[in-house]
Amino acid sequence: DVVNVIEGEAYAERLSKAYLDKIVDEIKEPGIKKKRSVILRGKAADQILDYAERNKIDIIAAASHGHSGIRRWVIGSTIDKILRGAKSPVLLVHSKEKPGAYRQTAAFTHVLLPLDGSKAAEAALPYTESIVNKAKVRVSLLRAVSPLVDQYAGPPEGYVVDYTGKVMQALEEEAVDYLKQTAKIFEERGILVSTTMIIGSPATEILKYIEKQKVDLVVMSSHGRTGFGRWILGSVADKVLHSVEIPLLLIRPS
């Protein structure tokens, strides 16, 4: 479904209808059984969220606009509200300056799935499987382990408790084993999958990996929490969201 929300009257509605019909005509991907355009009235985010829930939409695809001068994408209030309010996954694509720039390069070949060992992060697994099952796509599972810091015991003149070596080794071994076990889910389906464990800040390492390994889609859990009915993005997802230049599929854990 291609949706546009208007706040004006008849003229704006005609323009919106013509615009949406043009977009619908350009959607020629095989396997799409039904295409339609819908015009809604009211506040954009509220109407989109309501429409998605009423029509049991499986995924919301939206585009952000522009970025600041420090390579950080600006997420408008509409997109921000959709990200925090949507119950279904949200595919966020950062707009490119050239119209139609994604049209010829929309096929994904390398999907990155960041994990941290939690059930919340694993909410992204079935969606990744669904994407790669329909095309010859390779999957990379990445887990970044934050480094520990030696702790001081006693007063300022006390001594350093040197436990980080053994603890870090245990954390690294657990992370590697976890990735191997998770990779079997894809291997059993004949999907090309690789695993990477790295020490460092999760968000920073995810962004480095994306750039070095030419990833063209990131699938990850939003890892937030609820508060007065409002979904809050986790710090890792938030940093990736505002920094990555490729499409990002955010999954809200149930």
CATH number of the domain within which 225 lies: 3.40.50.12370
The tokens describing 180, both together, are 């191997």
- Number of domains present in the structure of the chain: 1
Where on the phi/psi map is residue 63: left (φ > 0), alpha (ψ -120 to 50), or beta? Answer: beta
Q: Quick check: is 52 in a domain? A: yes
Minimal CA–CA distance to 219: which of 68, 80, 110, 144? 110
pLDDT at 211: 94
Q: Read off the pLDDT of residues 96-132 as tens digits, 9 standing for 90 and up.
A: 645 454 455 557 899 999 999 988 889 999 999 888 8
pLDDT in tens, 183-229: 999 999 899 999 999 999 999 999 999 999 999 999 999 865 444 33
Q: Confirm whether 114 is domain-assigned.
A: yes
Q: Is 106 a domain residue?
A: yes
In a domain, 33, yes or no: no
Strands 159-161 and 151-153: antiparallel
The whole-number average pLDDT for the span 25-50 is 82
Q: Residue 200 domain-assigned?
A: yes
For the entire predicted model, the pTM comes to 0.80
pLDDT tier at 148, thresholds 50, 70, 90: confident
pLDDT at 97: 47
Tokens representing 222?
A: 């939003």
Show Cβ contacts of residue 165 under 8 Å, excluding neighbours closer than 6 positions: none
For residue 78, name the pLDDT band (cuts at 50, 70, 90).
confident
* Residue at 242 is within a domain: yes
Helix axes 44-54, 77-85, angle to 10 degrees: 30
Residue ranges making up the domain that contains 119: 43-251
Q: Is residue 30 one of the residues assigned to a domain?
A: no
pLDDT band at 41 (very low <50, low <70, confident <90, very high): confident
81: its two tokens: 């509200």
The rounded distance, in Å, linking the Cα atoms of 116 and 175 is 8
Q: Is 6 inside any structural domain?
A: no
Residue 92 near residue 241 (C-beta atoms within 8 A): yes
